[in-house]
Structure 1
Amino acid sequence: MEETVPGTEAAQIPRQRGASLLEAAVRYAEERHWDVFPGTWLEAARGVQRCSCGATACAAPGAHPARADWAAQATGSATVARRMWQKQPTASVLLPTGRTFDAIDVPETAGFLALARMERMGLTPGPVTQAPDRRMRFLVLPGAAAKVPDLAGRLGWSPSGLDLRACGEGAYVAAPPTRCGAWGAAVQWACPPTSANRWLPDVEELIPALAYACGRER
């Protein structure tokens, strides 16, 4: 039986466990109106997971665009998404940033510290992914990439001194249940998409907790 994230409406976004990549891609487009596009995937070779791109030193095995025109390929149509993953069922599910959301990329330890701080502050984060590279991506309203340096500076932090990166136009994030990395572990939701976080926060709401957590990690 398929596991679903409680609290979402109608066709629920499935959890990473037991959900197919095709199902997840279709539901991201259908429920959240997020653009999606298929990326590379992992292939077993001599007991080792390698990226389908063929590069022996791939920087993001199984989780990067498979085509140079990926930005034009990304679609918000569930019908088109279904067709793309039917052609390649093992393709990673990638979400372009700079459209319906930007993403704030931080180390995993800083991300959990920031989530705990947000809870104490009464803030509701948007969806947050937790990836095998031990990084977390906080989804926020578009435009965050342009705001982060100034916001961090106003809080007394040097943006170059923080391990915090804003992903905007021209970038992307891997979504659950994509499997990537040398061990083929799955991207997961640290904070899953629900009806409660359908409206994404502005980066201004989250940056104090995120900058503080990254500063502590530094």
Structure 2
Amino acid sequence: MERKSRFSRWLRRSGSGADTGTGTGAAAGAAREELLLAAAAAGFPLAPAAHPAGYGCSCERIGCPTPGRHPVSFAWQTLATTDADKVTAWLRTQPEANFVTATGMAHDVLDVPAEAGRQALDRLLAAGVDVGPVATVTPDDRMLFFTTTRGTPDDEDEWWPCELDCHPETMDEHPGLRWHCRGSYVLLPPSLLPGDERVAWLLGPERPLPDPLTLLEALTDACAQYAGARQDHEPAHPWPIGR
């Protein structure tokens, strides 16, 4: 109950700019710390990520293709933790870092275009479905639905794959619905992206995680409608595309 009330208080501080991450100084740092510790307390394994630096990324890679969107360490899956002391130490030593949460450990994430996500969310709430935490990501304009995980059994043969599985290296192959499970991650609020865009909670991490199958039909239907609408509005090519 205490975790829920603290998170609710954080969201209500709209007048201070804490809910959008636009505050400055100690207040903004404290609000950021409280939000990330709330996610860790909810059971989301956290690991530090890069952050925007000027027009690029804080990592040392020249021309980084995903500035501010990737973990700092290649060992992010091993580092990911819900330990409050470790997370606090990272926050103090890396005050500008974004944070990712590793999926497939304690939760999965169904990641959809924001327009489709809003349509599905309205449908789910109208039907009385218990929707769990939901975050929005811009400028990609995506919506993240956090769910229980399919698990990581000791016997690899017992783990059932899905054609929607999305890993960091296959993001471009999944423009519609992406299912982040084992081996993947998503950015957590209040991560900042280039152009002063950000990741923000729509429904907070204190909410119980739903079974992904209770959301999947509404999300897939909304994504199909979204894809059809986009295709209808795409202009015809003025000349044949070479094979």
Q: TM-score higher than 0.5 here?
A: yes
1:202 aligns with 2:211: yes
Between structure 1 and structure 2, the one with the greater Rg is 2
Aligned partner of 1:36 in structure 2 is 46
Question: How many pairs are equivalent?
Answer: 195
Q: Distance in 1 between matches of 2:204 and 2:38?
A: 13
Aligned-partner SS, 1:65 = coil
Alignment of 1:120-199 (within 5 A): 120-132=126-138, 133-143=140-150, 146=160, 149=163, 163-180=176-193, 182-194=194-206, 197=207, 199=208
For residues 152-177 of structure 1, what are the alpha-carbon distances to aligned partners after superposition, in whole Å with 9 as ceiling and x for unaligned?
A: xxxxxxxx998111001111111111
Distance 1:164 1:90, change over 3 A: same
Aligned partner of 2:221 in structure 1 is 212
Considering only aligned residues, what root-mean-square deviation do their CA atoms show, in Å? 2.6
The structure 1 segments of at least 4 consecutive aligned residues displaced by more than 2 Å after TM superposition are 6-27, 54-60, 144-150
Distance 1:147 1:110, change over 3 A: farther
Q: What displacement does 1:61 show?
A: 1.5
1:108 aligns with 2:123: no
Between the two proteins, what is the percent identity of the paired residues? 29
Can you give the 5+ residue segments of structure 2 that lack an aligned partner in the other structure? 12-18, 152-158, 165-172, 228-243
When normalised by structure 1's length, the TM-score is 0.80
Distance 1:8 1:76, change over 3 A: closer
- Whether the aligned pair in 2 keeps the contact of 1:98 and 1:170 (CA below 8 Å) is yes
Q: Distance in 2 between matches of 1:161 and 1:215?
A: 13
Q: Distance in 2 between matches of 1:216 and 1:162?
A: 13
For residues 43-70 of structure 1, what are the alpha-carbon distances to aligned partners after superposition, in whole Å with 9 as ceiling and x for unaligned?
A: 12xxx3x211144543322121111111
Task: Identify the structure with the greater helix proportion.
Answer: 2
When normalised by structure 2's length, the TM-score is 0.72
Q: What displacement does 1:149 show?
A: 4.7
For residues 152-207 of structure 1, what are the alpha-carbon distances to aligned partners after superposition, in whole Å with 9 as ceiling and x for unaligned?
A: xxxxxxxx998111001111111111101x3131111122233xx2x211111001
Distance 1:190 1:7, change over 3 A: farther
Q: Distance in 2 between matches of 1:117 and 1:56?
A: 44
Distance 1:112 1:100, change over 3 A: same
Identify which of structures 1 and 2 has the higher relative contact order when contacts are C-alpha pairs closer than 8 Å and 6+ apart: 1
Aligned partner of 2:169 in structure 1 is none
- Whether the aligned pair in 2 keeps the contact of 1:40 and 1:66 (CA below 8 Å) is yes
For residues 67-116 of structure 1, what are the alpha-carbon distances to aligned partners after superposition, in whole Å with 9 as ceiling and x for unaligned?
A: 11111111111011101121111000211100110001110100001001
Q: Distance in 2 between matches of 1:162 and 1:215?
A: 11
